[in-house]
Amino acid sequence: MERRPREVPSHRRTHLVDVARASASIDELIDRRIRARSVADELELMYKDSARRNRQKLREENRWEWIRHYEQMASNHHGLAEDYQRRALDLLEGSGGGGGSLVEWPVHSY
């Protein structure tokens, strides 16, 4: 007697899974997630590089601002030093600059 495979009742056929199709779907899902992760990683690296360049640019701009500030301060103090030296020489020579007070207070514009 030959045995025939049993036929699956129709109400159960909807639950059958095509293993090859399911495996392909899972592989596709995994591939999509890997691509998404690599894109996210690349974006993060690009962001970090951009942030690093921006910080470096700001440091350089600040450095030049401090240089400008100290050059201006040196110029101001040099001018004051010359003015005070001239006043001291005037006092030593006895030409106190006219009448009134021996000291004229300078008016500087910064």
Residues shown for the chain:
110
- Report the predicted TM-score, pTM, of the whole model to 2 decimal places: 0.45
Burial of 96 from C-beta contacts in 10 A (0-12 / 13-18 / 19+)? middle
DSSP letter at 17? Answer: -
Segments in 1-110 forming alpha helices (H): 10-13, 19-93
User: What's the rounded Cα separation, in Å, for the pair 96 and 25?
Assistant: 99
Instruction: Give me 95's structure tokens.
Output: 């030409």
List the chain pLDDT tens, one digit each, 110 residues: 677 777 766 655 555 667 778 788 888 888 888 888 888 889 999 999 999 999 999 999 999 999 999 999 999 999 899 999 999 998 898 865 554 455 566 666 65
